[in-house]
Amino acid sequence: MTQRTIASKVVIALILGTLPGCFPYVMTYVYLDGPGVNYLRFPCRDGAPVGVMYQRNEARFEVTLEPHGLSPLKDAFLKIRAPRNSLLSIPNPIARITYRGEEQGKSTSVQLKSSSLDWQGPYVEDMRRRSPLAEYRFVFVDLAPITSPGTLELPVVFVDGVAVESPVFTFERRPYAGIPPLNC
């Protein structure tokens, strides 16, 4: 076989390989776990479980320490969806993170701050206004990058005057490799 034939076969293989728009990638992510949670993955992909969701007292809670594809915002967040007529409050909006491993015993408090939801544009905002559920998003302020495993304790949330305690979450950084479609 000539070099020209080999080169043309390589070019054809490359074109055929990229035609579906799929490229492998490798990343790390913060895996969160706790009793009674469902895992949130990248939208339109069966990717790494980068967040968790659980339900309490007619409210749906979503948490991630590293949003990746769950949000165009780069901050870790707690999102709560509750019936529109519910009263929701967090009297002490402080989360507690305790590290294991390299940073054994190190504990830190992280403030949760209410975040605007208007970054998604007028179409999504209109849908949100018509929904029977209200959505609240709180970001973790000045959260240092997660390098060691540990536990996360969220503050107590009151929904219609009833205290809702979150499970104590464990977290750790994990590797992930996948082949997502680029058009997603």
Q: 115-169, pLDDT tens digit by residue?
A: 876 555 566 667 667 778 888 889 999 998 888 999 999 999 999 999 999 999 9
Residues 79-85: what's their mean pLDDT?
A: 90
Instruction: Using the structure block, give the residue that is written with the tokens 């996360």.
Output: 152
Burial class (CB in 10 A: 0-12, 13-18, 19+), 176: middle
Domain locations in the chain as residue ranges: 25-178
Dump pLDDT digits (tens) for 47-78: 778 889 999 888 999 999 987 766 666 789 99
Q: Are 21 and 182 in contact, with CB atoms under 8 Å apart?
A: yes
Residue partners of 50: CB distance under 8 A and separation at least 6: 29, 30, 40, 41, 42, 64, 66, 67, 68, 69, 70
Global pTM? 0.77
